[in-house]
Chain A
Amino acid sequence: MLKFFRRSKGWQLAGLISPGALWILLFFNLPLLIMLFISFVERGRAGGIKIPPVYTIENYRLFFNSCSSAFSGPECNPFLYLGIFSHSVRIGLMVTFFCILVGYPLAYFMAKQKQVWRDALMILVIIPFWTNFLVRTYALKSVLATEGLLNSFLMNLHIISQPMNLLFNEFAVVVGLIYGYLPFAVLPMYTSIEKFDYSLMEAAADLGASPRRAFLRVMLPMTLPGVVAALVLVFVPVVGAFITPDIMGGGKVEMIGTLINRQFGVARNWPFGSAMSLILMLLVLIGVVIYFRSSTEETRRGI
């Protein structure tokens, strides 16, 4: 009997796949289904859901019209949640844009170095990952604080006479997110640029393309898979970020992540939190689908 199992290729394969498949099923797919269920029921009084469950689409309606709640007063802004959502997307795009803008030249510079230097620079980019994200964010906070490193430095040099308000605003959140996610932009772009054959730039110049046009027509399109990968890798986590806006924004900058976080915490509105999580997922999914549609198998591999 055992011999039969060993011989069969199908069983061997199943044996190899099942641990991972079970893990995903149990800890990713099942919770997702639970979330989907919760998003369609009424909330319980102290968090959780009402038992027995009462089915409703109110949670989704609340997102698109924040005044649909029974508690809303006459001054209610119906687009409160939609506004936070679009604000998050805007911050996400801004952070992604700057990460790519800063990361591409950096990745280019790294790829141009000799092998020894490349490895050293790569380690420098990866090193921050070895430190806890929370610690790094707090460190940045102490740099930007009113009495912090940057302000005292500039004051001592008499470049500014009053400390600047660098913390607890959108600027701080964006800086914090760029700081946290820059490596995610650099690494895939580096991979693409490193594979790029520079003799193609010579060919472009030979055919009369100025350095700028050669870059736009040859190098950029050929390294685009890395840029798009960087876009997805930065945008997706940034839109849903909640630690950085919480710490750097000091509770003043609301993003979709902090909003969802609050529903499962102080607001004790699990169904609404679940509904928003699913809406966020859907948005990200649309983004990824657009990426896969716009790129072929070959360009994704960066050939």
Chain B
Amino acid sequence: MTSEFAVEMQDVLKQFVTPEGGILAAVNHVTMQIKDGEFFSLLGPSGCGKTTSLRMIAGFELPTSGKILIHGKEMSQVPAHLRPVNTVFQQYALFPHMTVEQNIGFGLEMKGVGRAERSKRVSEALEMVRLPGMEMRRAKQLSGGQQQRIALARALVNKPEVLLLDEPLGALDLKLRKEMQLELKTLQREVGITFIYVTHDQEEALTMSDRIAVMSKGVALQIGLPEEIYERPADKFVADFIGETNFLDGTVKGQNGSTVEVDIPGTGLVRVESSRTFTNGQQVSVAVRPEKLRLNSDVKEGNNLKGRVEDVIYIGTDTHYGVRMTGGQKVRVREQNLTQAQKIIAKTGEEVMVSFTRTSPRLLTE
């Protein structure tokens, strides 16, 4: 039996007993489908259940209830060494007593691949991660970035059905991390293997993934394309966790077709386009990204609210403004520095107009 899905988690629950004797649901009834050949990221803060989910797919943890299927085959209770997946560990977990060649060849050796064939495939794998000729080195003699590539080669050389990556770039410095992000993405496209990638870095997830599952407290809050997650976050947590978001809390005053009127106390009335229906008096958050706010540029048919600049941060490509609205809410505005003249729009202490279109915000209930 095959399936279009590489991995399926069906209502998976994983409970742990805490040291205090309580029961903690690290993964709380999660259902998700990961398509074949997809670069799929599990994104969330530490303790959200993303690593536990990955470990259950790898077979290091068994679910308390629910099913895990790999290419349609039930794997929930199959031990790790019999699963058609391989893992790149956060700390690489290279065998320190073996050479690079023995490390990479370990999986093949376990499968009973002969010495000659093994050696050939090891050097191919080293070629692939751009570290040719490293066979005789020991893991400890390599830099962090090199160890990372060896760990990748050690997993990929087995041609797994699914490659699991547990924050593999976490230990690298920023520059190397950026490089490896692109490299991993390219590599994934080349080998065509499904990647499941665990990270707490939202930018990393957005850069690399075909689809993302945002997790919090053991629950998958939203599963979707990067742009869906960013532009149409399902709730306040997702909106806040992915990128930066301004929240203007208010009350629904009326709805005229798709236009919803929200009163932001002290700041004024805001009109937002929404496909959903709200009732008058309902508490909502107007969530709008900093880059979708404009300073002192009258937006036609939009919202124009008053505030006072509290701080100005110039960061080259952009200038960031912190604006205190008349109602006391603080928003951040990101203006791109397109021309030199535009460099600074307003100074600290100046009164400004904050504007945005009706379509830019999302209306979120808790």
Q: Which of B60, B80, B94 has the most CB of A within 10 A?
A: B80
Q: Chain B: which residue is nearest A213 at the CB level?
A: B110
In B148-207, the 8 Å CB interface with A consists of 154-155, 158
Q: Chain A: which residue is nearest B104 at the CB level?
A: A207
A273 to nearest B CB, angstroms? Answer: 44
Candidates B59, B87, B97, B158; contact of A203 at CB < 8 Å:
B87
Is B345 interfacial (CB 8 A cutoff)? no
Is A221 interfacial (CB 8 A cutoff)? yes
We find that the number of chain B residues with CB closer than 8 angstroms to chain A is: 24
Is the beta-carbon distance between B107 and A207 smaller than 8 angstroms? yes
Which A residues lie within 8 Å of B79 (CB)? Answer: 205
A221-B97 contact in complex given A207-B110, A208-B111, A209-B110, C-beta closer than 8 Å: yes
A206-B86 contact in complex given A199-B91, A213-B110, C-beta closer than 8 Å: yes
15 contacts between A and B (CB under 8 A): A202-B60, A203-B87, A203-B94, A206-B81, A206-B87, A207-B81, A207-B86, A207-B106, A207-B107, A207-B110, A208-B110, A209-B81, A218-B95, A222-B97, A299-B97
We find that the number of chain A residues with CB closer than 8 angstroms to chain B is: 21
In A187-219, the 8 Å CB interface with B consists of 197, 199-200, 202-211, 213-214, 217-218
Is the beta-carbon distance between B93 and A202 smaller than 8 angstroms? yes
In B81-105, the 8 Å CB interface with A consists of 81-82, 85-87, 89, 91, 93-97
Is A303 interfacial (CB 8 A cutoff)? yes
Q: Chain B: which residue is nearest A202 at the CB level?
A: B60
A226 to nearest B CB, angstroms? Answer: 13
Which A residues lie within 8 Å of B60 (CB)? Answer: 202, 205-206
Candidates B59, B85, B106; contact of A204 at CB < 8 Å:
B106
**Which B residues fall within an 8 A CB radius of A?**
58-60, 79-82, 85-87, 89, 91, 93-97, 106-107, 110-111, 154-155, 158
Q: Chain A: which residue is nearest B85 at the CB level?
A: A206
Q: Knowing that A203-B94, A207-B106 are A-B contacts, what are 6 other residue pairs whose CB atoms are under 8 Å apart, sorted by A's residue number?
A: A197-B93, A206-B81, A206-B85, A207-B107, A208-B111, A209-B81
Which A residues lie within 8 Å of B59 (CB)? Answer: 205-206
In A215-259, the 8 Å CB interface with B consists of 217-218, 221-222
Which A residues lie within 8 Å of B95 (CB)? Answer: 200, 203-204, 218, 222
CA distance A209 to B87 in the complex (A): 13
A205-B81 contact in complex given A199-B89, A199-B91, A213-B110, C-beta closer than 8 Å: yes
Is the beta-carbon distance between A206 and B58 smaller than 8 angstroms? yes
Which B residues lie within 8 Å of A206 (CB)? Answer: 58-60, 80-81, 85-87, 155
Which A residues lie within 8 Å of B158 (CB)? Answer: 207-208
Q: Chain B: which residue is nearest A197 at the CB level?
A: B93
Q: Which of B59, B85, B93, B154 has the most CB of A within 10 A?
A: B93
CA distance A206 to B59 in the complex (A): 8
